[in-house]
């Protein structure tokens, strides 16, 4: 007997009280249907268990009363995956196998590499998850800079890591190389960063980027630009007065003006600069002022500039969770504020990227499947982070402790990987978590951040949802309306078959 697939997502459309947009969680199908067709599908949903292992099942939009649908409509719904003959258990098994296959494909992609020249930093931001390294003397031994012999043996080891991903050994290729810290672009690190770049170019081509606080990048002026460090993420936490309360030097002084000058310099050199604004309830009201500042400085007119908002997380023991936002709450707050402050459009909402991804659903059906996410981020398939001591990690929020590293690079340039830690990270997918396996959003969400899930639930292979169901439905609805209002194919505006 046909039943509604457990992975059917129902999206309300703001411009239409009658129709519903269907999105399928693993086939990539989308269709606009009448409320009665949506209710027909609702009436054939299997009943879920009362409560998942972590959290609650997300509420879904209600539909109109079920009506009679034609055989042609039923055939169409079956072809798109919304109706299935599989039992819930059989469909969960199929879903798990698909997720594993997608993850195996991701593991065959070329690795990306991140170098941490140092764990040290010249700022003391209260919400920093690494703050203990600079304030607790027991971590003082970590604060030295990477040395050239360590860099050399890391590059000698890269072909071995690439072989693990199915790439031919010693082949010259274009590598993705980032810098992270601590603060990677301290003036004191200039020599070692230049050495890393030199070694990368000796092995082939490379794309360089850095996550930096931007305070000392003027020391790297000749290394910045499309042919060098081409992309920077730099944080501002509001207009000067607010920023200088939050992102301070060890002596308590502010950093805004120096960072702002360096952002202007980087943009003039052709660097793509992404400004991140860490937002909580204490600085939300200052966002219109920083948006005005961005416009006044003309940054928004630079083709390589972008700015986005991200919620502060309470993960370092110093941040009051009551002051923080979920991604969904922050997104809604910014949406409301944009009505009164037009310049806020220069700041991307937390879910702007999700809406862009949703837009690809409607752009070309053939491109949907590769965009599905069997895991949350590249920490679970292809990211390798090298610290100053040659220890290897997969997540930059879990560095500095050799006990959780996935391995190390030996003095001989060999890679020694720890199978238990590697499997822990590379084995976390939506198929490894019983809640995610049954969630209709799982292959769009990827299961959420492992570290936030661990902090919230005490289990690495649990889910961290962060309001994803609401966020996804809102983003898909916005993206769909943009699509049908533009030059998209007329067929997507039609209902399924005769209903």
pLDDT for residue 2 is more than 80: yes
pLDDT value of position 69: 87
Average pLDDT over residues 191-207: 96
Strand partners, 363: none
pLDDT value of position 492: 37
More confident residue, 314 or 91: 91
**pLDDT range class, residue 17, cuts 50, 70, 90:** confident
pLDDT for residue 365 is more than 90: no
**pLDDT range class, residue 313, cuts 50, 70, 90:** confident
pLDDT for residue 401 is more than 60: yes
More confident residue, 364 or 319: 319
Poorest-confidence range of 119-128, 329-338, 413-422?
Answer: 119-128
**pLDDT range class, residue 315, cuts 50, 70, 90:** low
pLDDT value of position 159: 92
As a whole number, the mean pLDDT across the chain is 88
**pLDDT range class, residue 355, cuts 50, 70, 90:** confident
Over residues 109-134, the pLDDT tens digits come to 999 999 999 999 999 988 887 766 66
Torsion of CA 298, 180, 127, 306, to 10 degrees: 20
Average pLDDT over residues 325-333: 92
Which tokens sit at 429? 């997918």
pLDDT for residue 488 is more than 80: no
Strand partners, 274: 233, 306
Domains and CATH numbers, the chain: 3-103+432-493 (no CATH), 108-379 (3.20.20.70)
pLDDT for residue 437 is more than 90: yes
Poorest-confidence range of 79-93, 126-140, 428-442, 461-475?
Answer: 126-140
Average pLDDT over residues 214-237: 97
Strand 3-4 and strand 83-84: pairing? Answer: antiparallel
Over residues 381-397, the pLDDT tens digits come to 999 999 999 999 999 98
Poorest-confidence range of 342-356, 357-371, 401-415?
Answer: 357-371
Residue 211, CA atoms < 13 Å, CB-side half-sphere? 11
pLDDT value of position 134: 65
Question: In the 3-class helix/strand/coil scheme, how is the chain assigned residue by residue?
Answer: CCEECCCEEEEEECCEEEEEEEEECCCCCEEEECHHHHHHHHCCCCCCCCCCCCCCCCCCCCCCCCCCCCHHHHHHHHHCCCEECCCHHHHHHHHHHHHHHHHHHHHCCCCEEEECCECCCCECCCCCCCHHHHHCHHHHHHCCECCHHHHHHHHHHHHHHHHHCCCCCCCCCCEEEEECCCCCCCHHHHHHHHHHHHHHHHHCCEEEEEEECCCCHHHHHHHECCCCEEEEEEECCCCHHHHHHHCEECCCCECHHHHHHHHHHHHHCCCEEEEEEEECCCCHHHHHHHHHHHHHHCHHHCCCEEEEEEECCCCCCCCCHHHCCCHHHHHHHHHHHHHHCHHHHHCECCCHHHHHHHHHHHHCHHHCHHHCCCCCCHHHCCEEEECCCCEEECCCCCCCCHHHCCEEECCCCCEEECHHHHHHHHCCCCCCCHHHHCCCCHHHHCCCCHHHHHHHHCCCCCCCCCCHHHHHHHHHHHHHHHHHHCCCCHHHHCECCCC
Average pLDDT over residues 62-85: 85
pLDDT value of position 174: 93
More confident residue, 356 or 57: 356
pLDDT value of position 269: 98
Over residues 253-310, the pLDDT tens digits come to 999 999 999 999 999 999 999 999 999 999 999 999 999 999 999 999 999 999 999 9
Residue at token pair 């995610």: 436
Percent share of the chain, pLDDT over 70: 89
What residues have CB less than 8 Å from 115, skipping those under 6 apart?
146, 151, 154, 177, 178, 179, 180, 184, 196, 385, 386
Average pLDDT over residues 27-36: 89
């Amino acid at each position: 007997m046909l039943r509604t697939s457990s992975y059917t997502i129902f999206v309300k459309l703001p411009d239409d009280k009658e129709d519903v947009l269907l999105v399928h969680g693993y086939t990539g199908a989308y269709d606009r249907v009448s409320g009665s067709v949506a209710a027909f599908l609702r009436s054939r949903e299997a009943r879920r268990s009362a409560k998942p292992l972590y959290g609650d099942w997300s509420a879904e939009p209600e539909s109109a009363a079920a009506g009679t649908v034609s055989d042609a409509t039923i055939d169409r719904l079956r072809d798109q995956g919304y109706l299935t003959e599989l039992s819930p258990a059989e469909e969960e098994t199929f879903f798990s196998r698909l997720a594993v296959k997608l993850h195996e494909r991701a593991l065959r992609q070329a690795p990306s590499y991140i170098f941490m020249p140092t764990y040290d930093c010249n700022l003391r931001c209260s919400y920093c998850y690494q703050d203990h390294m600079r304030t607790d003397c027991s971590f003082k031994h970590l604060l030295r800079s990477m040395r050239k012999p360590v860099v050399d043996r890391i590059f000698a080891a890269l072909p071995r890591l690439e072989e693990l991903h199915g790439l031919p050994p010693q082949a010259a290729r274009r590598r993705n190389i980032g810098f992270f810290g601590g603060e990677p672009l301290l003036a004191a690190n200039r020599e070692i960063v230049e050495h890393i770049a030199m070694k990368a170019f000796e092995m082939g081509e490379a794309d360089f980027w850095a996550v930096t606080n931007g305070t000392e990048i003027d020391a790297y002026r000749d290394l910045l630009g499309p042919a060098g460090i081409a992309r920077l993420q730099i944080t501002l936490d509001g207009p000067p007065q607010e920023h200088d309360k939050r992102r301070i030097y060890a002596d308590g002084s502010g950093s805004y003006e120096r960072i702002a000058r360096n952002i202007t310099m980087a943009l003039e050199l052709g660097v793509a600069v992404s400004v991140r604004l860490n937002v909580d309830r204490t600085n939300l009201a200052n966002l219109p002022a920083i948006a005005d500042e961005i416009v006044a400085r003309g940054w928004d007119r630079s083709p390589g500039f972008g700015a986005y908002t991200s919620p502060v997380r309470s993960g370092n023991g110093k941040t009051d969770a009551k002051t923080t936002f979920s991604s969904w709450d922050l997104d809604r707050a910014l949406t409301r504020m944009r009505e009164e402050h037009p310049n806020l459009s220069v700041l991307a909402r937390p879910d702007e990227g999700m809406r862009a991804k949703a837009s690809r659903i409607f752009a070309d059906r053939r491109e949907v499947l590769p965009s599905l996410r069997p895991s949350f981020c590249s920490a679970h398939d292809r990211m390798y982070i090298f610290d100053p001591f040659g220890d290897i990690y997969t997540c930059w929020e879990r560095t500095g402790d050799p006990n959780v590293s996935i391995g190390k690079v030996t003095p001989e340039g060999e890679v020694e990987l720890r199978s238990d830690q590697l499997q822990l990270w590379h084995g976390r997918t939506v198929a490894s978590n019983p809640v995610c396996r049954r969630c209709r959003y799982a292959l769009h969400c990827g299961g959420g951040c492992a570290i936030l899930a661990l902090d919230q639930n005490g289990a690495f292979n649990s889910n961290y949802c962060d309001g994803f169901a609401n966020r996804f439905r809102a983003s898909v609805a916005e993206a769909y309306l943009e699509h049908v209002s533009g030059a998209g194919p007329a067929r997507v505006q039609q209902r399924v078959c005769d209903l």
